[in-house]
Amino acid sequence: MIAEIQDLLNDQIKYEANASMQYMSMASWAENTGFSGVANFFLRTVRRRESTHDQIG
């Protein structure tokens, strides 16, 4: 039971890290393409998600 919970938590951490990297990649692409507003949206989203994680932990 504990090992299963640990595996599920590790999977969730991987999903969250992957999502963060995807948002950062999209922000980088948007900034380099001249879509600074879109880039700011993705960067704000990453910051908001990270601050939520900080509050939980």
Report the C-alpha gap between 5 and 20 in whole angstroms: 23
Q: What is the pTM of this model?
A: 0.76
Q: What is the model's pLDDT at position 54?
A: 64
Q: In the chain, what are the domain boundaries?
A: 23-57
Q: What is the model's pLDDT at position 50?
A: 79
Whole-angstrom distance between the N-terminal and C-terminal Cα of the chain? Answer: 22
- The predicted model gives 34-56 an average pLDDT of 87
Q: Is 54 helix (H, G, I), strand (E, B) or coil?
A: helix
Report the C-alpha gap between 40 and 43 in whole angstroms: 5
Binned at pLDDT 50, 70 and 90, residue 51 comes out as confident
Which tokens belong to 23? 């948002």
Report the C-alpha gap between 39 and 51 in whole angstroms: 18
| 16 has pLDDT over 80 | yes
- The predicted model gives 21-48 an average pLDDT of 96
